[in-house]
Each structure stands twice: as C-alpha cells, then as structure tokens.
Amino acid sequence: MLADTAGFENQTAVFAMGAADLVLIPCMADRNSVLEARKTAAQVASIGQIARRSIPYRLLLSRWNPRGLSEQATLADIDASDLPRIKQHIPDLVAFQKSTFSGVVPISGLVGIQIDRIIRELVELEALPAKPQEKGA
C-alpha cells in the first residue's frame, strides 16, 4: 500500500506512519525543508515506540537539481543530521508541476526513468513487492 498524506502534525499521517513498512519524507533544497524532515523523522521514531516496532524511513529529495548550490548545502545538512535518504531524487521538471493541475501522472521520458529508479530502490529496501500483486490476492 502507498499512502500520500498531508505533512507533519496531521492525524492521517500519524495513522499512515503507524501502518507503514517504510515512510518516505520529502525534502526540498532549503533549510526549512530539512528542519521539517528532522521533525517528521522524530515523529516516525515516536510512533514506532507506540507501535512497539521500528518504522524505517528515508528522505526523498524532491524538486532536486543535483548540481545546485542550495542542493549541495542541503545535502551537507542532511548528512550532518544523520537522516537516511534514497539515492535517487525527483528532479525539478515542469512535468511534475503540470501533473498537479491535470491529475495525469507522468510515466514516460525522463520522468518515467527517474520514477522507475525510485521504485527499484524501494523494491531493494523491501518497501514494495518485487512483483505487483494481483487484485483480489
């Protein structure tokens, strides 16, 4: 199951984190995003204590330009905070912005390649099944 909820301090997010096999925490290239990611990571740990199990999490770099100066500073901040992250990132492409208006999720071209890489990494982390499950199974 994949659930996308509103951010920090949201009851739906708390329930989703408690049921999650892995929590993805989006992080953009700015200081406030790193601060919010830290808070969310602490919240995941707290929910894990209540659930009496470890709930793994990873940061997902979003709207990312790997060569940007802000991105490099953000990575230094993330690494200094010992926040684990997914190797792949979601690039800052117009196709993602357009999808918020159209509701159509881009699946081809560079966007498709990046999303496929993220999915493969989630499969390696055993957060997604290697093979899609059939409906009703």
pLDDT confidence band for 105 (50 / 70 / 90): confident
pLDDT confidence band for 32 (50 / 70 / 90): very high
Q: CA 78, CA 59: separation in Å to the nearest integer? A: 9
- H/E stretch holding 112: helix 109-124
Q: CA 42, CA 36: separation in Å to the nearest integer? A: 10
pTM equals 0.85
Domain residue ranges of the chain, discontinuous segments joined by +:
11-92
pLDDT confidence band for 112 (50 / 70 / 90): confident
**11-92: CATH, from 3.50.50.60, 3.40.50.300, 3.40.50.9100, 2.30.42.10:** 3.40.50.300
Kindly give the pairing relationship between strand 85-91 and strand 57-64. Answer: parallel
Asked if pLDDT for residue 40 goes beyond 90, the answer is: yes
In order of 8, 65, 81, 113, the CA distances from 5 in angstroms are 9, 25, 24, 24
